[in-house]
Structure 1
Amino acid sequence: MKPIIKPNIKPTTRIMTLALGSLVCSVAINGFLRPLGLISSGITGLSIILNHISSINIGLIVFTLNIPLFILAYFKLKKEFVIYSLINMIMFSTMLGLTGNVYQYIGVDNVMLSALVGGALNGIGMGITFRGRGSQGGIDIVGAIIRKNWEISIGSALMLIDLAIIATGGYVFGIESFLYTLTALYIGYQFLDKVQATFDSKKSVMIISHKPKEIGTALMQEMNRAITYLKGEGGYTGNEKNIIYTIVNPREIPKIKKIVNEHDPNAFISVFETNEVRGYRFEERFI
C-alpha cells in the first residue's frame, strides 16, 4: 500500500511566512541596528551605508541593488525560488521603507543590547524567510548558490561574504560600530542556522516487533507514512525478523508509540536524530 503524498505548502501560507520573515527583519534593522550605527548583512547592510551617505530611502536602495542579483539567480537557481524571492524582496523593501521610524517607539539606546536583540531578530527573520523557501534577495541569493554547490551551511556562507561589507561599514561608522556589527551578525547567523535546523529536523525510527506487518500497515494508514522492512536476525534466538524503518517529524513520535503499543506492547523502538533527508515524500531543498 502506497501512502498518499501530501501537497506542498500552499502559496498563500508561503507568502504569509515570507511576509512574517520580512517584518521581523525590518523591525530588527530599523528598530535596533541602523539607528545606532550598526549595519545588517549583505545588500541590506550596504543599503544602510548608502542611506547614511545619501539619505535616499533605504527600501528604494535595497530594491535597486537587487536587480542584477535576481538576473543571476534566474540562471542559477530554481525558478520557483527566484519568483518567491522576488515577491519577498518587494515586500521586504516596502516594509523597510514603512518601518523607518519604528526606533522611536522602541527607544533602546544601549549599543550592545541593540546588537544582541537586533542580531537575534534578524537571524530569526531570515530563518523564517528561508523556511518559506524564499529569500530577501541580495547576498542571500549568493549564499543559496554556494549552499547548492558546496553543501555548507547558509549561515557560514553569508558570514564570509559579509566581511567586506561590514568592513566598509566600520570605515563609515567607526571601529566600535564594526565590532558591534560583528557581534550582531554572528548572533544572527547562529539563530538563522538554529531556525533552519529546527524546521528541518526529522527523526529516524526503527521498530522491532513480533507483529511488523500489523504495525507497518497501521503506520501507513493512520499516519500516511512510507515504511521499509529491513531483514534482521535475533542475536540469541537466531530467528529472522522484519524491522520497520521510517522517518517522521518529531511531533509524530508520540503517535507512533501509541500505534506500536496498541499492536505490541513489548516491541522495541529506537528513535534517533536525522539531520537531512532527501528523496521520496520529502521535499527537495528549495534551492
Structure 2
Amino acid sequence: MTDPADPTTQPTLVFDSKAHAHSVPEDVLGILTGTFLVSLGLHLLHAAGAVTGGTAGLALLVTYATGWGVPVLFFLINVPFALLALWKRGWSFTLRTIVCIALVSGFAVVHDTFFPITDLQPFYGILAGNLVAGVGVLILFRHRGSVGGFNVVGLIIQDATGFSVGWTLMIFDTIVIALSLLVVPWPIVLLSAVGAVLLNLVLALNHRPGRYLGH
C-alpha cells in the first residue's frame, strides 16, 4: 500500500513519461506570442479608457500624484521585482522577464501604428482586453517568463506554498484598482475590477502545479 506522504511510493502516471522540456524555438515562439497578446490586451484596455492592475497600473497612479512619466516610473517600480526574480528564480527567468517587458513595449508601438482604435465600447474593451492579456501572461509563465512586477511575487509564492499565482495577482490587482478610485470615475473602476477578475481566473484555473506537462 502506498504512503501518501512518501513521494517514492507514489505510482508513476502514464503522462509523466511524456513530459519534456520546451525546445529553444518553442520558447522563442511562445515568448513572442505571449508578449504580443499581452500588449494587444493592454492596447484594448487603453482604448477603452480602463484602469489596470499590476505595476503598470501602479505607475499610472503615481504619475497622477507626481507628474513623472509612466515609462520612468514603470522601470523604477520594476527594479526591486527584477532583483527579487534574480534572487529567487535565477538568471534565466530574470533575463526572460526583461526581454518580455521590452517586447511588450515594442509590440505596443506596432499596435498603435497598425491597429489604431478611435472608438471602443468600454464593456467589450475591458473584458476582451483582460481575457487576451491573461492568455498572453499564461503563455509566458509556461515558457518561464513574465512581464515583471507582481507576476514575480505570485510565481515565488506559488513555488513556495502551492497557492495559485492567479489568486495572488488578483489580490494585488484589487488593491491597485481600488486606489484608482482616487483618479478614475467609479463605473470604469468597477468594470475594470470585473476585468481583472477575468484575467486572473484565466491564470488561477490554468496555471496550477501538476496540471501542465511542459517545462
TM-score w.r.t. the length of structure 2 is 0.78
Letter in 2 for 1:14: D
Task: Please give the root-mean-square deviation of Cα atoms over the aligned residues, in Å.
Answer: 2.9
Cα shift readout 1:8-62 (whole Å, capped 9, x = no counterpart): 21233213211211111111112x2123331222112223445667483x55543
**1:92 is aligned to 2:104:** yes
Letter in 2 for 1:109: L
1:131 is matched with 142
Secondary structure of the corresponding residue to residue 148 of structure 2: coil
Secondary structure of the corresponding residue to residue 105 of structure 1: coil
Q: Which moved more, 1:46-55 or 1:137-146?
A: 46-55
For residues 140 and 53 of structure 2, what CA distance do their matches in structure 1 show?
15
1:21 is matched with 34
Letter in 2 for 1:62: F
Cα shift readout 1:163-204 (whole Å, capped 9, x = no counterpart): 22111222111211210111110111122334436xxxxxxx
For residues 85 and 211 of structure 2, what CA distance do their matches in structure 1 show?
25
Cα shift readout 1:136-169 (whole Å, capped 9, x = no counterpart): 1111001111111121111101111122211122
Question: 2:210 pairs with 276, 280, 285, which one?
Answer: 276
For residues 112 and 28 of structure 2, what CA distance do their matches in structure 1 show?
25
User: Which structure features the higher share of strand residues?
Assistant: 1
Letter in 2 for 1:171: L
Task: Give 5+ residue unaligned stretches, structure 2.
Answer: 1-16
Q: What are the residue-to-residue correspondences of 1:18-167 with 2, within 5 Å?
A: 18-30=31-43, 32-50=44-62, 54=67, 56=69, 58-96=70-108, 98-99=109-110, 101=112, 105-167=116-178
Higher RCO structure, 1 or 2 (CA under 8 Å, sep 6+): 2
For residues 102 and 140 of structure 1, what CA distance do their matches in structure 2 show?
28
2:9 is matched with none
CA positional deviation for 1:95: 2.7
CA positional deviation for 1:79: 3.2
Cα shift readout 1:235-281 (whole Å, capped 9, x = no counterpart): xxxxxxxxxxxxxxxxxxxxxxxxxxxxxxxxxxxxxxxx7279xxx
Q: Which moved more, 1:119-128 or 1:58-67?
A: 58-67
For residues 156 and 144 of structure 1, what CA distance do their matches in structure 2 show?
11
1:179 is matched with 190
Cα shift readout 1:204-226 (whole Å, capped 9, x = no counterpart): xxxxxxxxxxxxxxxxxxxxxxx
For residues 123 and 70 of structure 1, what CA distance do their matches in structure 2 show?
21
Letter in 1 for 2:176: I
How many aligned positions are there?
198
TM-score w.r.t. the length of structure 1 is 0.60
C-alpha contact (below 8 Å) 1:34/1:48 kept by paired residues:
no
Identity level (%): 21
Secondary structure of the corresponding residue to residue 164 of structure 1: helix
For residues 211 and 36 of structure 2, what CA distance do their matches in structure 1 show?
30
C-alpha contact (below 8 Å) 1:74/1:82 kept by paired residues:
yes
C-alpha contact (below 8 Å) 2:47/2:117 kept by paired residues:
no
